[in-house]
Amino acid sequence: MRKITGNKLLVRALKEEGVDTIFGYPGACTIDISDELYKQDDIRVILPRHEQALVHEADAYARTTGKAGVCLVTSGPGATNLVTGLATANYDSVPLVCFTGQVAKNLIGNDAFQEVDIVGITRSITKYGVTVRNREDLGRIIKEAFYIARTGRPGPVLIDLPKDVMGELGSPDYPDTVNIRGYKPNTSVHMGQLKRALKMLKKAKKPLFLAGGGVNIARANKIFTEVVNKTNVPVVTTIMGRGAVPTNHPLFIGNLGMHGQYAANMAVEECDLLFSIGTRFNDRITGKLHAFAPNAQIVHIDIDTASISRNIHVHVPIVADALEAVTKMNEYVESCETDEWLARIRAWKEEHPLTMKNYTHMTPMDIIEEMNRQFDDAIIATDVGQHQMFVTQYAEITEKKQLVTSGGLGTMGYGFPAAIGAKLGNPDKTVIAISGDGGMQMNIQEFATAVLEELPLILCVFNNEYLGMVRQWQKLFYGKRYGMTNMRSGAMYRRTNGEQMPEYTPDFVRLAESYGAKGIRVTKKEEIAAAFESAKAETKVPTLIEFIIDPEDLVYPMIQPGGTLEDMIMDC
């Protein structure tokens, strides 16, 4: 048997796992791995401009392809720059396998140059993390890492690779089976429980489906839509669940929660059976807990036992993968008598429709609706803030569309790199990023990656010169004291007591152009369509469209944090 180095085995393992793209940034502790990757052509290596963007790119690649995203970064700062991205992926259940370089074993603990305890640092934000201490364990650990990342409730796994272990010679074999005694993900559905739940569904007068991100992750959308069609039961979704049924489906009411549709939140309040799949009842959707779905029996299907009955009390818990569960449901469900209930929901929709049509200036709704008109086969990535909420309210997510957003952690700076990762994984799809002017600047360096990889992304920046979502809270709850949210404030603003401010920095159009990308500024409704048309015509370079938005446009409706439906603010 010819022995090979750990570095060689790593590359071999990646190939056996079917990895076609990795996101890497080099350094002293991983230079040997870079060298092995240089010698081969099967795996494409992407070089982002910052490790935080790198992990977001791998994350969106994973979300939009269903494969595990793979990261390779060096020790110390390379590794610590992953932290935000790991937490983002962990919260949204995204399969990632991240390799971090580490100093040689004899230096660990010595405060060596670029040494950090990255496994310790990331312990609470990864599904699993481990340092490879023996060369003979390397193959098994990589195999287990991919298995753990992809199965059960998916999540990020971190493998720390000391430089000396990777240089050691050892077996060239990569195992093809996994057996982890403490990890046996659930693969079946408890039929007794499921039938009990379906009986309750049939009996209910006001049944309601609540679909979370789990439905999308399990790629159960199609079958779930069939179940919805058969039962005639209306659906609300979380923002991560958007697209569980096409948003133009007649039984889709809207998103629930803090910025959910009035009708969706009213339906949750009034329903007598809340049949929920793949959601963890996060505080942003429940508001005040005792007032959430007060009249309902609650069924909860989730792959993660720890998500069930944690935040709200569940009457029928079912531990299962959403696809498994929905497939079984599809065999047994019957049509439910819901006409009266649907009429009531329709009335709520008419009472308080979701719209910004009463404004004469260009609104986020105008932009997103034009996007809906022009693109029917697209991936839409967002950043975090007001624009994200507008997208989750107005963007149509139909069969050929996918929404990619940091729903759990709410990571600013996610949107742009996410669009890059999505496009690398889906070269034939249109990929649109929607960001605010704040979030866009958190990973703006990725223009270089996008331009060099020749990605014709459409990057929409909703520029309202403020960190808008925080400003919205300041406007509504803090007496319009806009502390720390004005993106033009600085020395001049302080010197003149807010009388004078400089022009907005950066000039997004010229910034895009400096990278060799295209830049368009849109200030009026009439220019929106042409800007999208012009972006669509590009095949090799990204187009940034800066939309000048009125900072007074707030996201409505809004339920105050920790509030109830009675506190819902419909408009100012």
Alpha carbon separation from 112 to 76, 108, 129, 395 (Å, rounded)? 10, 7, 21, 49
Contact with another protein (CB under 8 A): which of 38, 111, 290, 306? 306
Handedness of CA 314, 315, 319, 325 (dihedral sign): negative
Give residues with Cβ within 8 angstroms of 360, minimum separation 6.
none
Among 180, 191, 484, 537, which residue interacts with another protein (rule: CB under 8 A)?
180
Q: Which of residues 78-137 bind another protein (CB under 8 A)?
A: 119-120, 123-124, 127-131, 133
Distance between CA atoms of residues 454 and 541, nearest Å: 5
Is 570 a catalytic site residue?
A: no
CB of 522 to another protein, least distance (A): 45
Residue 506 preceded by cis peptide, ω within 30: yes
Q: Which stretch binds another protein (CB under 8 A): 24-32, 305-313, 336-344, 424-432?
A: 305-313
Quick one: 104 or 501, whose CB is closer to another protein?
A: 104
* Contact between residue 319 and residue 213 where contact means Cβ atoms under 8 Å apart: no
Active-site residue identified among 163, 206, 401, 475: 163
Cβ atoms 432, 457 nearer than 8 A? yes
Cβ 250 to another protein shortest distance, Å: 38
Residue 272, number of CB atoms within 10 A of its CB:
16
Nearest distance, CB of residue 282 and another protein, angstroms? 15
Cis peptide bond prior to 557, omega within 30° of 0: yes
Nearer Cβ to another protein (309/489): 309
Is the Cβ–Cβ distance between 383 and 435 less than 8 Å? yes
In 3D space, the residue among 351, 337, 340, 326 whose CA is nearest the CA of residue 264 turns out to be: 351
Looking at 79, 103, 148, 384, which residue binds another protein (CB under 8 A)? 148
Distance (Å, whole) CA 254 – CA 238: 9
- Give the interface segment with another protein, choosing from 161-169, 179-187, 228-236, 476-484 (CB under 8 A): 179-187
Residue of 16, 105, 114, 226 with catalytic role: 114
Asked if residue 45 lies in contact with residue 406, where contact means CB atoms within 8 angstroms, the answer is: no
Q: Which of 3, 113, 222, 400 is catalytic?
A: 113
State the nearest-atom distance from the C-beta of 131 to another protein, in Å.
7
Centroid of chain to Cα 463: 22
CB of 121 to another protein, least distance (A): 11
Answer yes or no: are the C-beta atoms of 29 and 60 closer than 8 Å. no
Among 114, 193, 309, 327, binds another protein (CB under 8 A): 309
Q: Which amino acid is at 429?
A: K
> For another protein, what does the binding mask look like between residues 183 and 202, x meaning CB under 8 A?
x-------------------
CB of 124 to another protein, least distance (A): 5
The residues near 542 (Cβ < 8 Å, ≥ 6 apart) are 447, 450, 451, 455, 456, 457, 458, 459, 512, 517, 518
**Which of 200, 258, 412, 469 is an active site residue?**
469
Q: Give the interface segment with another protein, choosing from 61-69, 176-184, 438-446, 520-528 (CB under 8 A).
A: 176-184
The yes-or-no answer on residue 51 being catalytic is yes
Q: Which stretch binds another protein (CB under 8 A): 250-258, 301-309, 514-522, 533-541?
A: 301-309
User: Is 261 annotated as catalytic?
Assistant: no
As a whole number of angstroms, the distance between CA 348 and CA 251 comes to 14
- Among residues 133 and 199, whose Cβ is nearest to another protein? 133
Closest CB to another protein among residues 158, 424: 158
Residues lying near another protein in the complex (CB under 8 A) are found at 119-120, 123-124, 127-131, 133, 148, 180-183, 304-306, 309-310
Positions marked catalytic: 51, 113-114, 163, 469
